[in-house]
A and B are shown apart, each in its own frame.
Chain A
């Protein structure tokens, strides 16, 4: 897509690491916690520069969430780091009671989300975390799409009062969001304007959606691509404005089809503007070992899947 040239190939987790380091330099209340994955989460630069504000908790994620909640009492802004599976499902009750219900200003930062974690396989490839987190009252859920946006989002959530779940990933991925494109929590970004179908995507699949739109254009279909980086609160105005025009929807996410971005959009549309919708999501299964590209293909999250879903959606208008 000529409008979005590939600027670089970088992992989104490195965007988190870069953002956290910037925060450390600009906000003395920002503290980091990690459960024995400092290198994987790219928190090592923060740890090195601010050792007194970094807490290595060991392989004890429940304790990490509780300590983070306690650190807010006294004005700290804790950023916890571990894999998405261990950031959510493993510690759901700790997040529910000590962070969400208690209204604590903790930033739960989760790497290695989804299938693109790759070879480690299904134990680590959580596909349910968006749903888990979005069900918690008061939780903000953000899934940035590339390195630049993950850096921006990391910085933005420090200024947001309240618990946040920030989801990112492991593999190197195209960097295409220009630095001058501002990130705002809760404000979806229309990356391509179109009139035939609205493609809503988050995370790694935004890049896939851009490629799919290019393919669709060759076939005479003008797809609108919207980056819904904030799943909760959903930018209802942006979704409704696009759908009013296109009258059909494709949702794309690296997540189970239950509980994620697709359901979030469907829930809005069911109550406000019933619209044909097709899901590009994992079909209620666990993942497996493989390369990110192999897995996206096998589990139906690749460019041809988005193109086919767009055609199905258009036919249902």
Chain B
């Protein structure tokens, strides 16, 4: 059953607009990583559509009035913190901080640390992440606080598929279902790749959907590089909150999506393009909102 059949989805024009934003986000990603000659372009590019959909369509948030507690707003936690370039791009482009600050990524005295942190007061970031496996627990805690505060907004989190190898993920999975944390929508970036190679070769996840179902979650699947499908899945996930189960979206993506020579391999997980590669990458990504 197509996910989009049960709920109203975004119009064709809004899908086109989100795709235009995602193109700029991808330019921001490769330019940030090139600028400091370090960082993680592969997973960032793969998740560009998800972040664009989330920050420009799904989240009920107020970037200009950001505070740590985020009462009355949807919250997002990035557990796989190494894909910070894509997050920084959508945070800046949606108004959390000046776009030109993206030029400071991974440089000395920057608020845009290699892995996201609250340490330097960057608006939009509520938790440090980078050491994997911790973000789901944090998202659960924030969701519990929302319930205690009678705050009806939602908590979102994103995780890598390689991150599913961390034991804490499954402690958190068990807790959230057992305690009916049903104001939580988590997503796994299911790109099948991690630093050392394919997930299936490093440590296979086997039937990931069956695992989450067995842990008591409501599970959706979608294509994370198809904006219409993604919007449909996120809308459906929101529709399924408040029903006694946490919601998981298994989101198939392609690492490096949008830059042909970065796709179909784990090679671009954590390396930066040189000048020539940057030019080639940018030639494949339309500048829609103006480079920083």
Contacts and interface: CB of A to CB of B under 8 A. Distances in A.
Nearest to A61: B171
The interface size bin for chain B is 35 or more
A74 B171 contact: no
Given A93-B131, A97-B134, A102-B118, A57 B145 contact: no
Contacts of B130: 97
Interface in B109-161: 117-119, 126-131, 133-146, 148-149, 151
Contacts of A62: 133-134, 137, 167-168, 171
B73 to A, nearest CB: 11
Nearest to B127: A102
A4 interface: no
A74 B138 contact: no
B174 interface: yes
Given A71-B145, A74-B146, A97-B129, A63 B69 contact: no
The interface size bin for chain A is 20 to 34
Given A63-B172, A102-B128, A70 B69 contact: no
Nearest to A53: B148
B63 interface: no
B120 to A, nearest CB: 11
A52 interface: yes
A57 B175 contact: yes
A76 B172 contact: no
Contacts of A67: 137-138, 140-141, 144, 172, 175
A101 B127 CA distance: 9
A98 interface: yes
Contact of B168 (A76, A94, A103): A94
Contacts of A103: 118-119
A94 B129 CA distance: 10
Nearest to B77: A70
B21 interface: no
Interface string B160-177: 000000011001101100
Given A66-B138, A75-B71, 20 more contacts: A60-B168, A62-B167, A62-B168, A67-B175, A70-B127, A70-B138, A71-B142, A73-B69, A73-B138, A73-B141, A73-B145, A74-B148, A74-B149, A74-B151, A94-B134, A94-B137, A97-B131, A98-B134, A101-B117, A102-B128
Interface of A: 31, 52-53, 55, 57-58, 60, 62-76, 78, 93-94, 96-98, 101-103
